[in-house]
Amino acid sequence: MSRLVAFAGIQGGYNIVSKVEGRYKRALESFDATTKVGFPNTAYYLPVIYSLLGLKVETLEDMKKPLDVIRKLLPPHIKGSNHLPYLGPLLDAGMAAIFAFELDEALNYLEKPDFYYVSEETDIENGKIWLGAAEDTIFRKRGVEFVDGSAPGFAAIVGAAPSPEIAKTIIEEYQKRSIYVFLAANQNGTSCAQQLIEAGVDIGWHTKIVPFGPEISSAVFALGFANRVAMAFGGVPAGDYKKILMYNKNRVFAFVNALGDVNAEWAAAAAGAVNWGFPTIADTDIPQILPTGICTYEHVIGNIAHDDIVEKSIETRGLKVTIAQIDIPCSFGPAYEGERVRGKDLFVQAGGGKTQCTEYLELADMKEIDDGKVTVIGPDIPDMKRGEVFPLGIFVQVGGREFQKDFEPILERQTHHLVNYIQGVMHAGQRDIAWVRISDAAVDKGFTLKDLGVVLHAKLHQDFSAILDKIQVTIYTKKEDVDKLTAKARAAYKYRDERVDKMTDDDVETFYSCTLCQSFAPNHVCTVSPERTGLCGAYNWMDCKAAYQINPTGPNQPIEKGECLDPKLGQWKGVNEFVSKASRGAVTHYNFYSLVQDPMTTCGCCEAIAAMLPGCNGVMTVHREYTGETPCGMKFTTLAGVMGGGASSPGFVGHSKYNITQRKFLVGDGGLLRMVWMPKSLKEEIRERLLKRGAEMGCPDLIDRIADETVGVTEEEIMPFLKEKKHPALDMEPIVG
């Protein structure tokens, strides 16, 4: 390792720390020491400092302790006579710089509260480019993608490319691989984020291109995101710095791209990232760190050409990614799923309440379909005028020796994701309420409706090859044809819904596991039954059954229930044996239908969390989209942080939104009639199912008896409402003995 890079990195560390110390002293002159500091709507204080040092920085006064640690971390300056290895002191200087960056950004939020735009998307028209630290709702929503593997890692890009075109090319290469891109810093006043905007690239969390901030200090938001993953999904306790850093090295695949001249402060930042096992790959000729024998990913590599920087970064960090080559004129990949097609960029659209747009997939006789045949019946894009709204029917016929009719809705739902993977095409909704918007940019590249069929044929074959042999796609754009397809589809939808809704846990002898989240929550084992969907809301019993057929060695394994040990609480001997083995003995048993007694383990991917409210003799639930206070005294983010790492926590349990209205929901504790509080937005989202389930239980107005945040956010505030409405929970036996 070069003495020069050690000298630069350590000098950069001293520069950064000195600046922050000076800024902190000035802040104390302007603000009271008890002034609150932190990142908005997060439960992790300053996450890098909290996770590695265990220090909760909540006020200006609290900053003094980490500053003392930072100053002690700074090593002696490199001298010409010093021939000792430089790596250790350099890493300490880098860590000091990262800690100081986080304090600097906390002071930014204090002194310039409107600088960062608290949102998933930018507001370019009003100059709101920089998004700053991710709110916990955004973090947990996006963290799921790192859990299920749809996001293999992230690239933290600092600086700017030589031109907007080069910046766009690099970022699109990462998008094709579903790799998140976090943007920070600038070169001579120009940032990569600004270059992408100039090149017409949509940026924000929804496109996986996240502009954190214009200074090098904002790169700390990327490291904070990584450490929050370790705490929220991996259950690593704050303050256990060794486990935090090793978790990131082994599970969060990330790296840094430095674009442009690397000064001393950037060198310190690169050294800091090495502590996480995150290498830095630069486009300039900089002194390198190429340790051998003791390290895996801890490199700083310079002078990499822009055409090679993506592949070199992936190779250096050891990422495993695949790219689906689809024969269409537009780029294709999961990174485009969140892309919006706004009015000013819209060429044509279908559905969205303006016309009928229906998607339907059915099992067909293999003799009656031709694999790869894609037909458009009616006008295609070249026949349409800009601004036109047209009806659309997407009819997919599949055949396979291993395909079962129960798999139809599972594959049909893939339409939403796969159409969204096309750059310049937006898809929303499903079934007969879909909405497709096609941009000018996609049409300029030559996109046609036939390409929808090409994508569906290629990707369904690729992802479901174990059960599919043939796929034929027909696209309808004439009203009479779309209406006929819609009538046929609605009859199938009705049959499917009734079939799934009527299934019970007693009807089957086999449940299914889901261990997708174990990469982040090692002790968590989700068991999915007909009456208890997966915590994330993405998997029901039939989905898991299909997944097992598709991939017999995957995360969805059959579990023979075995002897029923407790029919009321929902506990089976076979499930216990599987859970004990899958959690490596960390969890020996749990109950399906209770949060009071030994509830199922919970991971950070859950859609909602239920909690006991003893003072109201009931329970509450809160979903991740709700950011306010709750009667249990904790927000969703706090609840998920406390018990989302794979723990079985009596009094709390994670669950899906759909599970709330399933018949066995918390039936061991009294069931849905115990529900005394949930956010208003959640009530509205599941209103129809709540009404139906309440009527089944003899309480048709149950939804109106459940309090929400408009009534109160403490047990004391909601109790008068519950008494006035004569909530059934008040007359039930005590929820705790």
Q: pLDDT tens digits for 152-199?
A: 889 999 999 999 999 999 998 898 888 999 999 999 999 999 999 999
Tokens of 588: 């020996």
Q: pLDDT tens digits for 209-257?
A: 999 999 999 999 999 999 998 888 878 899 999 999 998 888 888 999 9
Taking the C-alpha atoms of residue 128 and residue 24, their distance in angstroms, rounded to an integer, is 26
Closest CA to 637 of 137, 120, 230: 137
Look at residue 547 and give its three-state secondary structure.
Answer: helix
560: β partners = 510
Q: pLDDT tens digits for 93-134?
A: 999 999 999 999 999 999 999 999 988 889 998 999 999 999
What pLDDT shows up at residue 3? 67
Average pLDDT over residues 450-463: 92
pLDDT bracket for residue 1 (50, 70, 90): very low
pTM: 0.68
CATH of region 334-477:
3.30.1650.10
Tokens of 497: 């819904």
Q: Indicate the CATH number of 3-317 among 3.30.110.60, 3.10.110.10, 3.40.50.150, 3.40.50.2030.
A: 3.40.50.2030
What pLDDT shows up at residue 292? 54
What pLDDT shows up at residue 293? 46
Lowest mean pLDDT among 64-73, 333-342, 504-513, 693-702: 333-342
Q: Is the pLDDT of residue 149 over 70?
A: no
What values do phi and psi take at 422, rounded to 5? -85, 125
Q: Where in the chain is the domain with CATH 3.40.50.2030?
A: 3-317
Q: Name the fold adopted by 505-731.
A: 3.40.1470
Lowest mean pLDDT among 78-82, 512-516, 571-575, 703-707: 78-82
Lowest mean pLDDT among 161-175, 424-438, 442-456: 424-438
Between residues 466 and 19, the one the model is more confident about? 19
Q: Is the pLDDT of residue 452 over 90?
A: yes
Helix axes 309-317, 164-176, angle to 10 degrees: 40
Average pLDDT over residues 601-608: 85
pLDDT bracket for residue 307 (50, 70, 90): very high
Q: Is the pLDDT of residue 85 over 90?
A: no
Number of other CB atoms surrounding residue 650 within 10 Å = 15
Q: Where in the chain is the domain with CATH 3.30.1650.10?
A: 334-477
Look at residue 380 and give its three-state secondary structure.
Answer: coil
What pLDDT shows up at residue 136? 84
Burial label, 731 (beta-carbon count in 10 A; 0-12, 13-18, 19+): exposed
